[in-house]
Amino acid sequence: MYEDDESRLEAAENLAEHAASSAAAEAFLAIARDPTVSDEVRLSAAEQVAAMDPGAAGPACLAIACDGQVADEVRLSAAEQLAAVDPGAAGPACLAIARDGSVCDEVRHTAAEQLAALTA
């Protein structure tokens, strides 16, 4: 149906322009939670959800932040976005990144700092 991940994101953006925001938010949420979609497109979809319905962005950001197949910086960005919309849910995301030995030290350190700030 879609040629690539970008086409899928464009379709959701068109839906946001021409239909009910709840339908568009669901489309963006589906993209953000889909592990077959590229990391950057997933993060962009999560950001779109956050702009439309901050409360709905939590599960999307958490899915990205906890996905070990996603690039380190994208995972950290998702955790930061999650902290902005749902600080309580950001703790597990930061913890997952900080504990993941395959994540680069700098990103793990930043996630640990974010976790400390959330629990302070």
pLDDT tens sequence for the chain (120 residues): 556 667 767 766 666 666 667 778 888 898 899 999 999 999 999 998 888 888 888 888 999 999 999 999 999 999 999 998 888 889 999 999 999 999 999 999 999 999 999 887
Given a contact cutoff of 8 angstroms between Cβ atoms, the answer to whether 15 and 24 are in contact is yes
Q: Which helix (H) or strand (E) holds 28?
A: helix 21-33
How many CA atoms does the CB half-sphere of 106 hold within 13 Å? 2
Rounded Cα distance, 84 and 65, in Å: 14
